[in-house]
Amino acid sequence: MDIRLSDNRNGTQLEPLSIHGMLWLQTHFESNHWEAISQGLVKIPSKDAKILAEDALIAGVNINFINSLTQLDKI
């Protein structure tokens, strides 16, 4: 996997998992965002994440797109 996209109710978390994924993301985001992206600290709107994932797949980047994560409350 090169990039993980984890969808939740506040947007989609963007996490590069390989140097290939990070390099590809650098071509799509401004340099002032690169550090936050490299640390997995970026969320983008879910509809933009789907477009980004399609674009990455066309470019040969391996994507792990988790559509929905919900943590259950502990009893």
Tell me: the pLDDT tens digits for 19-58? Answer: 999 999 999 999 999 999 999 999 999 999 999 999 999 9
Answer yes or no: is 40 within a domain: yes
Answer yes or no: is 1 within a domain: no
Domain hosting residue 10, numbered range:
6-44+61-67
Answer yes or no: is 49 within a domain: no
- Start-to-end Cα distance in the chain: 34
Answer yes or no: is 36 within a domain: yes
Answer yes or no: is 31 within a domain: yes
pLDDT band of residue 66 (cuts 50, 70, 90) is confident
Asked if 12 contacts 44 with a C-beta cutoff of 8 angstroms, the reply is: yes
Task: Indicate if the pLDDT at residue 3 is higher than 90.
Answer: yes
Number of domains comprising the chain: 1
Answer yes or no: is 74 within a domain: no
Answer yes or no: is 52 within a domain: no
Answer yes or no: is 51 within a domain: no
User: Going edge to edge, which strands form the sheet with 11-16?
Assistant: 42-44, 11-16, 3-8, 63-66
